[in-house]
Chains A and B, each alone.
Chain A
């Protein structure tokens, strides 16, 4: 019989990193020790523990990583709590890749552009894949600016990687911010949307933004005030999903299925769709 995408593959967790009090990053390979499949930055996979649940997660590692895939997962319910309790060596099931991903190779869209990444909290997960992809193909992209904020210093996902790798790279600016003053933090304090306005990024940049809906809403408004057009701003959407292939009828915004036609949308495309997300 034909391959059935609803029947998952086996994955093994080979490393678990504690990012924040409620986010862990899991390294996953197939049972043969190799990567399960190739993907485009921004694409997702369905992870499951049979009997516990199945859920959609961004593949946070870059496709340029040929050894394994990584998922940064925030504990918020049944499946995610289970995943947070597991140890290295645990098998889980994986199916994917799903969704369209960011148009990283499209010269009309991202390739060759100066890029501005704006993330809040766990929203860094899908963007990290793009950031590391662009870092590995540095010659194909212009400048890279990353504005990232979380509730507190302890809630910054990928903090060590940001400090040790991103900040060490030439041509990459990282602006971090946390919501409230905190001991041991001498960086910026304040919400992401305001910080973006303060930093007045060059309006020739192409923007990729991901985070809680409220952050996206206010940041977009701020960007527009600065002079950015909707055609310059990409985001990823998050809706309830089951099948991940546009058949279970669950994740649509108007006539688009987020699992299949998204999760990456440009704001002008979202403008043509009902405001139902």
Chain B
């Protein structure tokens, strides 16, 4: 473990940013935190988390897949992919860090998504332990420890210092690159902080919510449950929950004619939208009940079925804070659990 006096934090960022692009959460004019590129003067946000998740760094809202030139009967396909540059994302919370390993299971499975893979390969994830988890947080329900985040290296910030410890080779390299600013240290301060956070975690309203129901019942029983109708009744199909969600992966592919060539894009899409599964003659999910059920079945049943039981939610609480009708995954889990 290494230590950096807190007043040197901006010097650390400057040193990192001198070598590669550094992104970190900073407060915007509206007071909301979002990831921005660090430059002189940018301050690390004290917010618990960013409004948008950190998935943009690896799975951006739009990606140019390739370009085409049309010329009479001929088509030219232009593969303009480039290796990503090296970059660092600093200040990723434990929930978002776990979301990356969930997205890995989708995008790095054969056939590998090369757009995602190159960002993943060149990105270093430096996490930051939470000290004041809030009432909407329930990462612990999914076995995530907010006080000991994953990622290439994990940081803990106390009153007077930043502590950093590597989890991977990439993390070691990162520490190596700024080592002259750090001093080696013991784990006492971090252990004390972890113990304190653990106490807060225990008292959070959702700390004891159980997901057992989804393990003990069959896919068809859960799918056919009466609960979906009531749960989805007020859902507007606005898709907000899917866009803020760090593990939502659905995408669309669309062409854009620039006037001098065609650009093919991949963009985020939402299973909450009515045209998501629309076909010429039919639509496999015609009503909002079916679409709502799809989103939560995917996270709580389908994804675990295909991934050794791992749930597709990290308990970040974003869908709790953002849904205009206050519907969310925790209500779904609790409704089934209380059956």
Give residues in A with beta carbon < 8 Å to B.
Answer: 1-10, 50-54, 76-77, 87, 89-93, 212-213, 238-240, 242-243, 245-255, 272-274, 276-277
Evaluate contact between A7 and B65: CB separation under 8 angstroms. yes
Chain B residues with CB under 8 Å of A254's CB are 219, 223, 297, 302
B277 on the A face (CB < 8 A): yes
Query: Given A50-B70, A242-B252, A248-B250, are A255 and B219 neighbors across the interface (CB < 8 Å)?
Result: yes
Contact of B257 among A51, A238, A248 (CB under 8 A): A51
B210 on the A face (CB < 8 A): no
Residue of B73, B74, B81 most packed against chain A (CB within 10 A):
B73
Q: State which of B49-57, B111-119, B150-158 sits at the interface with chain A.
A: B111-119
For residue B1, give the distance in angstroms from its CB to the closest CB of chain A.
37
For residue A121, give the distance in angstroms from its CB to the closest CB of chain B.
11
For residue A226, give the distance in angstroms from its CB to the closest CB of chain B.
27
Query: Given A7-B77, A91-B73, A250-B277, are A239 and B65 neighbors across the interface (CB < 8 Å)?
Result: no
Evaluate contact between A274 and B276: CB separation under 8 angstroms. no
Instruction: Please measure, in the bound complex, the distance between the C-alpha atom of A240 and the C-alpha atom of B282, giving whole angstroms.
Output: 9
Contact of B264 among A3, A50, A239 (CB under 8 A): A50
Instruction: Please measure, in the bound complex, the distance between the C-alpha atom of A5 and the C-alpha atom of B290, giving whole angstroms.
Output: 30
Evaluate contact between A10 and B75: CB separation under 8 angstroms. yes
Chain A residues with CB under 8 Å of B106's CB are 247
Chain B residues with CB under 8 Å of A240's CB are 276-279, 283-284
For residue A159, give the distance in angstroms from its CB to the closest CB of chain B.
23
Chain B residues with CB under 8 Å of A53's CB are 255
Evaluate contact between B223 and A250: CB separation under 8 angstroms. no
Secondary structure class of chain A's binding surface, majority of residues: loop
Evaluate contact between B75 and A50: CB separation under 8 angstroms. yes
Chain A residues with CB under 8 Å of B65's CB are 4, 6-7
Evaluate contact between B253 and A243: CB separation under 8 angstroms. yes
Secondary structure class of chain B's binding surface, majority of residues: mixed
Interface size class of B (residues with CB under 8 A): 35 or more
Evaluate contact between A91 and B74: CB separation under 8 angstroms. yes
Evaluate contact between B73 and A7: CB separation under 8 angstroms. no
Chain B residues with CB under 8 Å of A50's CB are 68, 70, 75, 255, 262, 264
Instruction: Please measure, in the bound complex, the distance between the C-alpha atom of A248 and the C-alpha atom of B266, giving whole angstroms.
Output: 10
Evaluate contact between B302 and A255: CB separation under 8 angstroms. yes
For residue A130, give the distance in angstroms from its CB to the closest CB of chain B.
24
Q: Which of B289-308 contact A (CB under 8 A)?
A: 290, 294, 297-298, 301-302, 305-306
B209 on the A face (CB < 8 A): no
Chain A residues with CB under 8 Å of B278's CB are 240
Contact of B253 among A91, A213, A248, A255 (CB under 8 A): A248
Evaluate contact between A255 and B73: CB separation under 8 angstroms. no
Evaluate contact between A1 and B83: CB separation under 8 angstroms. yes
For residue B228, give the distance in angstroms from its CB to the closest CB of chain A.
11
Instruction: Please measure, in the bound complex, the distance between the C-alpha atom of A242 and the C-alpha atom of B257, giving whole angstroms.
Output: 19
Write out, one digit per residue, whether chain B residues 210-251 have a CB within 8 A of any chain A CB (1) or not (0): 000000000110011000000000000000000000000111
Evaluate contact between B219 and A6: CB separation under 8 angstroms. no
Contact of B73 among A1, A6, A90, A253 (CB under 8 A): A90
Evaluate contact between A213 and B282: CB separation under 8 angstroms. yes
Instruction: Please measure, in the bound complex, the distance between the C-alpha atom of A50 and the C-alpha atom of B282, giving whole angstroms.
Output: 25
